[in-house]
Amino acid sequence: MAPLSTRFTELVGIEHPIVQDGMGPFRTSKLAAAVSEAGGLGTVSIPGMTIEYEEGKRVLREHIDETVALTDKPFAVNVPVGVDDEGKMLHISEALISAVIEARAESDKIRDQLRVLTTSAGYPGEFRDRIRESGLIHMCKVGSTRQAERAAAAGADVIIASGYEMGGHTHKNPVHTFVLAANVCEVVDIPVLVSGGVRDGRGLAAAMCFGAAGIAMGTRFIATEENTDWHPNYRQRIIDAREGDDGVVPGVYAPARVMVNRGTAELMEVIEKGSMTLDELTVHKDELLKRAQIDGDMEHGFVAAGQVASGIREIVRIAEFVPAMADEAARTLTGLASTATADSAIS
Ligand SMILES: Cc1cc2nc3c(=O)[nH]c(=O)nc-3n(C[C@H](O)[C@H](O)[C@H](O)COP(=O)(O)O)c2cc1C
């Protein structure tokens, strides 16, 4: 029996309240399938925000097809929803959300399994109705309590409260996980997942103490045996990371947390000199991300990762790790309850 069933696991129909969150522009189909197979919820990521629209839709569909070929369990897709200067949703975000909705409409197997769309980096505004009508569960990732309240009021089904220490694109205004988790759980009554800095069952237990219904992780899942699509140097860099190795630099659509290296220094020089147009710079940053993930260049590539990397010491097997993490959280919570009871009996 699953050790930790929550409102979230019941809503989505999974065993453990553990989500592998989106990690675009990287291929995460194998990761997503492995996490879902292990009883959590895996997420297929976008192929990039600078990709040509039709090509973006094609690649995303290929990743969805790969995931359903590897598992029969539920999974999610993540699409960041940037807005343009007039506040309209970016065309690439619209195209990728449409690709998700079309994939579900075209295949019963995809519709059964692709149950969740996680939007991040903004709220999908008028697209919200299309998401709901398609039957998708809508998870909305936020970095502040105000955003959480607005997303819940606009009809989101689940909130991911992601603190500033998270890997990849983070938030303009830093609110850290410990503060954000407590604040968000207090103000919304839909299920909340805590994200940013979680790596084991103790983190899941802590999230549940705040009132959350689960957690979402990115960095922890990079350093896994099943993550064979990424260059091995990337996984090793996570294992080697120490406190202070990370920093926040201007990312593709928001500030991004990466490992500080020669690539980040060179990028800051380019920005200071103004030697690239904004569009060129955006494409360049997307290329730097792929240089790390595909070519394994840890010196010049963008190695997106969270502060939690400093506590990750080994490459784990997802098939064992996910159930063990849920079990550790359940034991931690039970252990704390019995210690508290024993202490109050003594005093
Ligand atoms: C390599 C990498 C790429 C990421 N790309 C995305 C993305 O495409 N969309 C998104 O919403 N979040 C992205 N994130 C953030 C994760 O979804 C997640 O919120 C974050 O990793 C949680 O914090 P943690 O790294 O401490 O576990 C990325 C994170 C990493 C490490």
20, 23, 78, 120: which to mutate for ligand 1, most atoms within 8 A of CB? 23
Atom of ligand 1 nearest to the CA of 21: 17
pLDDT in tens, 207-239: 999 999 999 999 999 999 999 999 999 999 999
Residue pair 304/167 in contact by the 8 Å Cβ criterion? yes
Cα(218) to ligand 1 centroid in Å equals: 5
State both tokens at 256.
Answer: 């991004």
> What share of the chain has pLDDT > 90, as a percent?
78
Supply the residue whose CA is at minimum distance from atom 3 of ligand 1.
23
90, 219, 243: which to mutate for ligand 1, most atoms within 8 A of CB? 219
The Cα 191–Cα 333 span in angstroms is: 19
Per the prediction, the chain carries an average pLDDT of: 93
Q: Given a cut of 70, is residue 346 above it in pLDDT?
A: no
- Give ligand 1 pocket residues (Cβ under 6 A): 21-24, 45-46, 78, 80, 120, 141, 162, 166-169, 195-198, 216-220, 304-306, 308
State both tokens at 272.
Answer: 């200071």
Q: Output b/e per residue, 26-38; b: 16+ Cβ within 10 A.
A: bbbbbbbbbbbbb
What's the confidence (pLDDT) of residue 279? 84
Supply the residue whose CA is at minimum distance from atom 9 of ligand 1.
22
pLDDT in tens, 267-299: 889 888 888 888 888 888 888 999 999 999 999
Helix/strand/coil for 38: coil
pLDDT in tens, 51-95: 899 999 999 999 999 999 999 999 999 999 977 777 788 889 999
Contacts of 287 (CB under 8 A, 6+ apart): none
Mean pLDDT of 241-253: 90
What's the confidence (pLDDT) of residue 338? 83
Atom of ligand 1 nearest to the CA of 199: 27
State both tokens at 38.
Answer: 């292990």
24 — pLDDT class (breaks 50, 70, 90): very high
The whole model's pTM is what?
0.96
What's the confidence (pLDDT) of residue 342? 67
Supply the residue whose CA is at minimum distance from atom 21 of ligand 1.
218
Residue bearing tokens 């802590």: 206
Say which amino acid occupies 251.
Answer: G
Exposed / middle / buried, residue 85 (Cβ in 10 Å: 0-12, 13-18, 19+): exposed
250 — pLDDT class (breaks 50, 70, 90): confident
Q: Output b/e per residue, 294-320; b: 16+ Cβ within 10 A.
A: eebbbebbbbbbbbbbbebeebbebbe
The Cα 57–Cα 46 span in angstroms is: 9
Cα(120) to ligand 1 centroid in Å equals: 10
Alpha-helical runs (H) found in 107-212: 108-113, 128-133, 145-153, 177-187, 201-210
pLDDT in tens, 169-212: 888 899 999 999 999 999 999 999 999 999 999 999 999 999 99
Q: Given a cut of 80, is residue 126 above it in pLDDT?
A: no
Contacts of 291 (CB under 8 A, 6+ apart): 263, 297, 300, 301, 302
